[in-house]
Amino acid sequence: MIREYLTAGYPALYFLTQEPHRAEEMLGEEAKDKCVPFAWDCNRGIRKAGSLKVEEALLDFVQAASWLNEQTDTILFAHNLHRFMDVPEYIQAIQNGVQLWKSRGNCLCVIAPVLTLPPELEKFFFAIDFPLPDETRLAQIQTELSQTDGIYVETNPAATLAAKGLTEFEAETAYAYALATKGAFDPRVISSAKAQMIKKSGFLEFKAPEDPQLLGGLGRFKKWLAPRLEAFTPQSTLPRIRALLFAGVPGTGKSLTAKCLANMIGWDLIRMDLTGMKDQYVGESERKTRLACQIIEAFGRCVVWLDEIEKILGGSGQAAQGDVSASMLSILLTFMQETKAEVLLACTANRAYTLPGELLRRFNEIWFVDTPTLSERIEIIEIMNRKWKANIPIELASKLEGYTGAEIEKLTEASFFESPESALKRIVPVTKSSKEDVDRIRQWAAGGASPANTPEEESVSETTRRLKL
């Protein structure tokens, strides 16, 4: 991780990690072949890497940088220096020291959880992501815990897989908690520990996947998806879908479809709140976007639901203007292109015609969800009758052309207090109240999106069958 950079003479490195102690230990061990490893923090000063004994009580970094100026073949791990990167004296100390460190074989290595570099120092540092523990190390931690106090507990490969994305500290405590509560390495306990990663972010949220039986219609999409579900089984080598966009008329079940996907695949469902990630402070929106992508990549095996993405990433509208949205889009595009994690992005949009082409190209498939066809309306009425224990006659479906699934549900709720026919007179479908907008959505979809609804010809035959029943 570090030996090659030291051999090449890099005078300033920046390791991004949530595991400062593990990073110091592992990087220090690897650096021994090239340099003498020391560590600095503002509480203890300078000490030998991996040791608690203080060598020099230099709590001010300017003093620590001066100390490094006098050394040869030395690497100094500086903890949490990102907290002081706006101090002019610290900036100047690094600028003054870089050339001297390079000539003396020294290196300043910042260990921090986030990348914070002022413009004056950006060109001097080389940033590196410190890797989380791999499956071999996670299995080793299990083995070590299983033999504690002479009590042998069988290790569990499923628990190892569940712990991917956790730090060593998080994995060890999760394993220990599983042993204390279950007497075994229970993968479900490990997964609950991973859920803390999501909770603590503030802009990622666990959601309960929906039952696919609640999803009416969309015959073309369901037929397309069915043979591709096998690719999501653990041992499959088939290529997986990585990103889907459900675009179309508001209220037609796009979000419900995204939530049902997680159930069909058998993965966790995580909602990414792009609106909540927008921040008034410079750089915060971009930091939150990067952090969200890192957490999701570490978590793995999840469907990430991004709702109404055009509100932040679209090319029109107040929220879409400005450099912040462009920066957030750039980070998301890079993540979609380069991530190797087992992640499926399920995005929804109403006004998808505002989305930039570079984003649309990242989706494996773009599905257009229109108002339901006749057979789909009958199916939705049946679903609503079961869900609400109502008694809407399916014959009413013929009068609901142009109505969305959300509007049919509204009709079902109203039927408890008045007749469906009476309620129907008051419910104005979005295809009438926002006709121009709906027409524009449909016009955009005709240019390349795949229709998700059941074909009308199939709808007629299915309707005849259902009415006979």
Write out the chain's pLDDT in tens, 469 residues: 799 999 999 999 999 998 999 999 999 999 998 999 999 999 999 999 999 999 999 999 999 999 999 999 999 999 999 999 999 999 999 999 999 999 999 999 999 988 889 999 999 999 998 988 988 999 999 998 887 766 678 889 889 988 888 889 989 999 999 988 988 999 888 888 777 777 887 889 988 899 999 999 999 999 999 999 999 998 899 999 999 999 999 999 999 999 999 999 999 899 999 888 887 666 788 888 988 888 888 788 899 999 999 999 987 544 444 567 888 999 999 999 999 889 999 999 999 999 999 999 999 999 999 999 999 999 999 999 999 999 999 999 999 999 999 999 999 999 999 999 999 999 999 999 999 999 999 999 998 899 999 987 665 555 555 555 5
Question: Do 50 and 102 fall into the same domain?
Answer: yes
Structural domain span for residue 184: 135-197
Instruction: Return d(Cα 77, Cα 112) in angstroms, integer.
Output: 10
Using alpha carbons, list the distances in angstroms from residue 420 to 158, 216, 298, 409. 51, 20, 49, 11
Question: Do 285 and 401 fall into the same domain?
Answer: yes
Instruction: Return d(Cα 12, Cα 127) in angstroms, integer.
Output: 9
* Secondary structure percentages of the chain, helix, strand, coil, to 5: 50, 15, 35
Question: Do 266 and 156 fall into the same domain?
Answer: no
Instruction: Return d(Cα 32, Cα 325) in angstroms, integer.
Output: 44
What CATH number is attached to the domain comprising 271?
A: 3.40.50.300
Question: Do 89 and 18 fall into the same domain?
Answer: yes
Q: Give the chain's end-to-end CA distance (angstroms, integer).
A: 68
Give the chain's domain count. 3
What pTM was computed for the model? 0.78
Residues sharing a CB contact under 8 Å with residue 70, sequence separation 6 or more, in sequence order: none
Question: Do 211 and 117 fall into the same domain?
Answer: no
Question: Do 149 and 254 fall into the same domain?
Answer: no
Question: Do 226 and 329 fall into the same domain?
Answer: yes
Question: Do 167 and 90 fall into the same domain?
Answer: no
Question: Do 101 and 182 fall into the same domain?
Answer: no
Instruction: Decide if 390 contacts 384 (C-beta within 8 A).
Output: yes
Instruction: Decide if 171 contacts 141 (C-beta within 8 A).
Output: yes
Q: Which of 100, 129, 158 is the last residue of a domain?
A: 129
